[in-house]
Every structure is written in structure tokens, then in C-alpha cells.
Amino acid sequence: MGSIVFFSIIIFSLFLAIRSKQKRKDNSTRDFVIASNQFGAKLIFFLIAGEVYTMSTIMGFPGGIYANGPTYGIWFLGYILLAYPIGYIIGPKIWQAGQRYQAITMPDVFRGYFKSRVLEVLVALITIIFLIPVGQIQFTGLVVILQSLGWHLDPVILILFSAILAFAYISISGIRGSAYISVLKDIIMLLAIVLAGLAVTVHVGVADLFSLSSEKIQHQMTSSQLIFTMTTIVFQALGFYIFPHAFQSFFTAKSASAIRRSQIAMPLYMLMYPFIIIVAYYALAHDLHLEHPNQAFLAVAQLLLPDWLLGVIAAGASLAGLVVLAAICLAIGPMFVRNVIPNVAEDKQKMSAKLVIVVYLFMSILMALYSPGLMIDMLKTAYYGVTQLFLGVLIAIYQWPIRRELVIAGILGGEVFSISAYIINFDFMGINIGLLGLIFNVLIVLLGTCIWGKAKQFD
């Protein structure tokens, strides 16, 4: 029964993708990737939420709590909440920069403002490389979800099934399909999370649950853990909307005010997190002996909910991963053919982007098969790379007169510092190494500006 419900929802999502084509303005790359700037506040709200509340929400977040205790919960909730006011401030500015430079990708904005081919390619390559772990997260989660339905097939088959679905969403209607499916995904995912949380409450009771789980987890944090958590919250909040698929979603808006209105409502999604925490604590308290922490949410759902509801939960979680995969692909494909490969004709960009998307999906599949890892750890790795672009984005959208050479040096310095520190397991007072890299990045730009002065113009 669960599989029937699952397939019914997936088929309906494909129907929504087909229906979304009716709103298409033309067959251009611009319409395919950013919907010709036609989305209003409501659709922007669901699109951004669809790209934010992903597999990490329904699987990575409870898995992190199950594996590491409540510290992970504090970090996860904190950085998302802090990111919303940042999005409210910079989102409209990003949209204005997109209009100013006729941009459809983040590197387009860098090229438009800095007039630098080197910087354009650098930004594109950094974001493409560090988006591979994000795609890997989705595939890893999708395998766990499909196996929870009793599909005891080779992971390769399950991943290929997921990749074909993601590519189908993209091919049918581009970003419009993602936006429409995001509405369905959010409704189903919210329903699934609330039902699982309520099932735990009815089965055990909240007071008894926390009493049982308190015997198995440590409630105190060391000063080093506290510093790391707080600095990680700040660092990842800064990088939240710098991921190219989130950045690009601002370009789909019809106006800056539509973005502001959508950001005001975003914290409403946080209402579902208490239910996820309850599920994670149940998994902790009852020694479920999971093969992997990422299975925590689905394992509890399998124990407490009927088979058909498990199908609903699996569909919601799968759509969460598929929507993000589609959004990432719609960022990576255009970036590669517009910003990395020179002089690709406009009429060939769309088809070329689809070929790049196939390559990206293949690379993410390989990483999911041979290096599954803990979702939360992979997410942190992606942030180390992408957030180093934050200063460059601010300079471009606010049009600060900073030399492009200094921006390049700052980005490279921050990247080298962060990745090197991660590899050698460097620690400085517990501060997040990505934030240290960003500080190093800022210092390079500030010191260089003090020595060589502001940029008078970009030739």
C-alpha cells in the first residue's frame, strides 16, 4: 500500500510539472532557468522553501541529533533563523543586480560588475565543485527512503531511478516545474513530519520521552563546543543564500518587494521542527540500533505509522530531495555553459546545460555510492567552499569600489585556508574554520584596499 501511495504522489508531481509549462513565456534559456522574472511572492516563498527544507531537514537533522545529541539541533535551528533576516536584506539587492546585468546565474553578476573573466570562471568552478556534496546528500537520502518502502534493490538502481525523476522534472519545464512541485512537496512534508511527531506523542508522551532520552544524551556543552556552535551558526547563516541555486531563485521574482514579502513568512516553517526533535529523541530513547543515523526519522515512522502513511512520508521526503536536485542542476548547467565554456550560442545553451546536468548527476551518484557519509558533515563541507563568496557578492550587489584582483585574492585565500584547516583538522579556540577563512578573506581585501586604494573604474 505504501508503494502505491508513493507512486500516486510522484505521478501527480509529474503532472504538475507538465501543467507548469502553460505559464511559459518563451523557449529561451532565461525562461527555462529563472522563469523570465515572473514569480510572485507566494511562488517565491514555496520555491525558496523547497530549496531550503531538503533531505537534511527530514533526515539529516534528526540523524544529527541521534548521532551527536542536542548540540546539532541548536546549530541547525540557529543558522536557519539567522539566515532569514540576511535574506530579507540582500535578496532584493541580488534581484536588482540581476536586472542590472541581465543575469541568470551568480557568476553573471560577478562578470557584470567586475568585468573580469577570471573572477567569473573562478566563482563558477568553486560553486560547481562544492555543490557536488549537496547532490550527494540528496541521493544518499533517497536510497534510504526508497529502501524504507521495502524496495530491497541494489542502491545503484534506486539512485538511477531518482536521477531519472530529477532530470524529468528539469526537462519538462525547468524552474517552473520545481516551483510547482515545491508547493506539493511542502504540504506533504509538513503533513508527514507533524503526523510522525504526533504518533510519538500519543505513543509515549512528551514528558516521558524527554525523561527517557535525557539518560542517553549529554545536555551540557563545553566552552569549545559552545564557541563552535555559535560561530557555525553565524558562518552558515552568511552562506545560506550564497549557494547558487538559492541565489538564482531570487532572479525568478517579478519584483524586489515580492522577495521581501516571501522572506517575512519564511520563519513559519520552523514550526515543524519541534515535531522532528520529538521523533529524533524517540529514536535515541528506544535504542533502535540503526545502521546509519540518517535512518532515524524513517525508522520511527515505520514503527508507529500505518503502511499508507509511510508512503506519504516517503513521497514527501523524496520530493524534498528531488526538488533540490532539480534546482542545483538548473544552477550548475547554465553556469558551466555560460560562465565556464566561452562563447556558447544562446540557442545552444539550453541543450548544452542539460548535458552538463547529466554529468553532474553522474558525479553525485558516484559519491553517494562510494562515500555516503553523514549528511550534516557533507553539508558543512559545502559551506566551507561556497560561503567564501559572500564578501564578493556584497561588493557586487552594493557596488563597492573594490579592486577585482583583491576579490580574487580574498576568495582564493579563504578557500585555501578553510580547506587546508579542514584536512589537517586545525582548531583555534573552537571557532568554525570556515568563519576563520572568511575573516582571512576579508582581511586580504581590506589590507589590499588600504595599500592600493579603491578601484576607480573597471576597464
User: Distances in Å between the alpha carbon of 403 and those of 106, 122, 389, 407, 409?
Assistant: 19, 16, 15, 7, 10
Residues written for the chain: 459
Query: Nearest 5°: phi and psi at 255?
Result: -160, 160
Structure pTM?
0.90
Instruction: Give the C-alpha separation, 47 to 21, whole Å.
Output: 16
The residue with cell 517552473 is: 176
pLDDT value for 23: 67
Mean pLDDT of all residues in 184-208: 84
Q: Which of 66-80, 297-311, 433-447 has the highest mean pLDDT?
A: 433-447
Instruction: Give the C-alpha separation, 140 to 360, whole Å.
Output: 15
Instruction: Give the C-alpha separation, 85 to 240, whole Å.
Output: 11
Q: Which of 207-216, 252-261, 429-438 has the lowest mean pLDDT?
A: 207-216
More confident residue, 344 or 238: 238
Sequence-distant (≥ 6) Cβ neighbours of residue 366 within 8 angstroms: none
160-181 pLDDT per residue, tens: 888 888 888 888 888 888 889 9
pLDDT value for 50: 67
pLDDT value for 235: 95
Q: Which helix (H) or strand (E) holds 44?
A: helix 41-52
pLDDT value for 273: 87
If you average pLDDT over every residue of the chain, what do you get?
86
Q: Which of 90-94, 285-289, 292-296 has the highest mean pLDDT?
A: 90-94
| Ramachandran category for residue 35: left, alpha or beta (phi over 0 → left; psi -120 to 50 → alpha) | left
C-alpha cell recorded at residue 439: 575573516
Instruction: Give the C-alpha separation, 81 to 349, whole Å.
Output: 37
Domains along the chain?
2-376 (1.20.1730.10)
119-141 pLDDT per residue, tens: 999 999 999 988 887 887 788 78
Strands (DSSP E) found in 298-419:
none
